[in-house]
Amino acid sequence: MILSASSLWFLTSSFAAVCVGVLLYWKRRQERAVADFSKQLKALADADLPAGRIGIDDQSTPLAQLGGAINQLLDDLDRRGTRLKDREELFQRLVETVHDAVLVHRENIVFANARFLDMLGMSASEVVGKPLAHFAAPEYVDLVASNLRRRLAGESAAERYEIELVGKHGEVTRVELSSTVIESAGEPALLLTALEMLASLPPQPTSSRPRAMVTLDAMGESVITVDADGRIDYINHAAEALLGQTSEQVVGKTFPDVASLVDETDRRSLGDPVRKALATGGRVTMGKRAVLVPVNGSLERSVEISVTPLKSDGTDFTLGLVLVMHDTSEMRGLTRQMSYQASHDALTGLVNRREFERRLREAMDAAQTGDVAHALCYLDLDRFKVVNDTCGHTAGDNMLREVATIIKDAVRDSDTAGRIGGDEFALLLVGCPLEKARQIADDVVRAVSDYRFVWKDKIFNIGVSIGLVEIGRGEGSIEDIMNSADSACYVAKKQGGVHVHVYSAREEASARHSGEIHWLQKLQGALRDNGFELYYQPIVHAQANVERGPALEVFVRLEAESGQPSAPPGEFIRAAERYRLMPHVDSWVVQAVLSALGRGGMRLPPGRSVAINISGQTLADADFLEFVVDCFDHTGAIPGDICFEVTESAVVANLDHVRRFIAVLHGMGCEFALDDFGSGLSSFATLKTLPMDYLKIDGSFIANLASDTVNQAMVGAMIELSRSLHFRIVAEQVEDQLSLDTVKQMGIDFVQGFIIGRPQPLSIAPGSLQINTL
């Protein structure tokens, strides 16, 4: 189960809403008491009785008896006023302990808590007495004013909506306003928070408990109050459930008597938050790694705790403390899951490239300061493409999972196995001499060679080529080490029968040189002679109400030589990146597609677009943006017919160039999609600053989506994030009907994959490009 952001907001905002409601309730009680007292004083005045305390010597007279009754009434009212004032001060302080913005609004703001004032960077005198619309961004002024007016008038209006607030120094904060109509001093008012409101409390006609206690008991947050000596004098129902103890069991005890707090990582005691608050006289918070351990053995829970002293007005005297405890167990579980997903490959469960490189960096640093040597193995599967082409990606994914298990079982527990590419793996053998590393590599080769992959009525045998590099003192950067291992693997693959090759700079240079020159010549010839061809894969909408969006994605391939199969895209793309030729390849694709659109060679359904991939190397080229703008100018293509796709890694690596590229072309009408979203979880911090239109969820999360609850949780979180940022979603690599049904049920907007259609060639005629089928 995923704890949604709205659910978390509900838990925290409920505390603010209840406290303000209770505060207004006690104010009305005090107003009614004063009114009653005024009526009785008026009656006394009409009877010509003396004002103030009445002193009469003869107590037996009727006047003396009346005077005594009046004195008793005055004493009563003094005591009641003091109690009401204490209650009002208590709940005023409770409102100020919450973290969320809370205010009360009539025609203008009549109350704003500290969080709201902090949000604007203003004082109460600068806020109270002014309308909320005064602090809204210009485009939201009419919305806020109209909504508040209609809500106060009892007319139909949104109870929850998003706006932007502008602070004192121009800072903009986007909030979700929730409003409910309340009555204060006999007049309607609106209680507003930045979060979701607490549902109405059920009536308590027969309860003899104070309404404030009933209100606190109905809250979802756990609330505990202690006296000035640190002894518990009240806990609400939520706190009872969290501690697994009743109010009768804990009242009169100290916090350590009922529970302790420990660090979730090392079980170290975090101390008593009550004693800390009493000792310092200030607010104490505990969170992030705090675990609540009840003394009676009840279930341990991850918590965030806030302890706030309640002080007497004008003095430093502490009347008591209020503890607010928020159960974060579910959220921390999701956080740990997200952390695992960020460092592990979703398909195989091995560490991903980023985590592998982090561990490799640590090993290299250790090698620089000590005498221990390590070894790096770069693995590339042989004949993997045959499985993919024959049986599809689902079969290929299953085979990769099984091979990953074989590799993991063949190395030591102290070693790290990672998946760093499609069919490429790596091993980090820590504290392993070169000869031992060669033995482990040979074991991996034999295990993979003995493995047989069975898919339906077909049996496949594969192999693996391994490049081995020793890591010691004086080695270069991570890139140098990885390139050396990749080069050794390249040599091993070219040698055929020998599947393990130990890195040698001289042999590697010779073998790689001949291979790279071959690819360089082919790429240069294709760029010179228009020797590329385009393929496309259709994209369809998954929801009936979705109209605008990409209709297809185009791919570039090297034209096959006569009698030869097409070159594998991965090989020539890697060579193009190595020789910095990707900007030229991407430019060819952009010009070909825009020319076809401008001349009518490619016709799209109304409102649909063509998706074109742009590599990270191309995005880093400052001249590419000008080239694209010129292409639109001289081809006559409509910018709205193009959707550029960029990957998470390309965005993070070239953030400044990406921002300018997207800003200019998005302003012209082009659309943008963030491709392979979730594969690295690296762009959450910057995603909201980029004007994206679509998120393409990485295909590894779609595999087995119907049965994989972890993938469902991750995809659900991505959908929720996308909706909050107003992005539409495309699911990649949807390859079977069950996956298609699942993504539709989850609310994904567009679908792409083998179940919809396999990549097909686009007909290229001189000066135009024609889609055969859509």
Question: Which residues are identified as catalytic?
Answer: 423
Residues 27 and 88: their CA atoms lie apart, in Å, by 7
Burial class of 79 by CB neighbour count within 10 A (0 to 12, 13 to 18, 19+) = exposed
Residue type, 135: F
Q: Where are the alpha helices (DSSP H) in 669-762?
A: 684-687, 699-702, 709-724, 737-745
Helix H or strand E segment including 656? helix 655-668
CA Rg value for the chain:
35
b vs e for 588-602, b when ≥16 Cβ sit within 10 Å of the residue's Cβ? bbbbbbbbbbbeebb
- CA distances to 16, 20, 100, 224, 301 from 8, rounded to whole Å, are 13, 19, 12, 20, 16
Residues 239 and 305: their CA atoms lie apart, in Å, by 12
Residue type, 602: M
Residues 678 and 341: their CA atoms lie apart, in Å, by 9
The size of the chain, in residues, is 774
**Other C-beta atoms lying within 10 Å of the C-beta of residue 259:** 23
Which residues fall within 8 angstroms of residue 159, CB to CB, at 6 or more apart? 151, 178, 179, 180, 197
Q: Are strands 642-647 and 671-677 parallel, antiparallel or unpaired?
A: parallel
Residues 566 and 562: their CA atoms lie apart, in Å, by 10
Residues 24 and 645: their CA atoms lie apart, in Å, by 54
Any idea what the Cα angle at residue 96 is, between residues 91 and 102, rounded to 5°?
100
Residue closest to 549 by CA, chosen among 274, 750, 323? 750
Please report the DSSP string for 61-128 in residue order.
SHHHHHHHHHHHHHHHHHHHHHHHHHHHHHHHHHHHHSSS-EEEESSSEEEE-HHHHHHHT--HHHHT
Backbone angles phi, psi at 288, to 5 degrees: 65, -60
Q: Is 383 left (phi over 0), alpha (psi -120 to 50) or beta?
A: left
DSSP label of 773: -
**Per the structure block, which two tokens stand in for 512?**
């790689």
Helix H or strand E segment including 526? helix 505-529
Residues 236 and 539: their CA atoms lie apart, in Å, by 54
Q: In what order do the strands lie in the sheet with 160-166?
A: 109-112, 102-105, 187-193, 172-184, 160-166
Q: 418 forms bridges with which residues in the sheet?
A: 351, 426
DSSP label of 49: P
Residue type, 458: K
Which residues fall within 8 angstroms of residue 521, CB to CB, at 6 or more apart? none
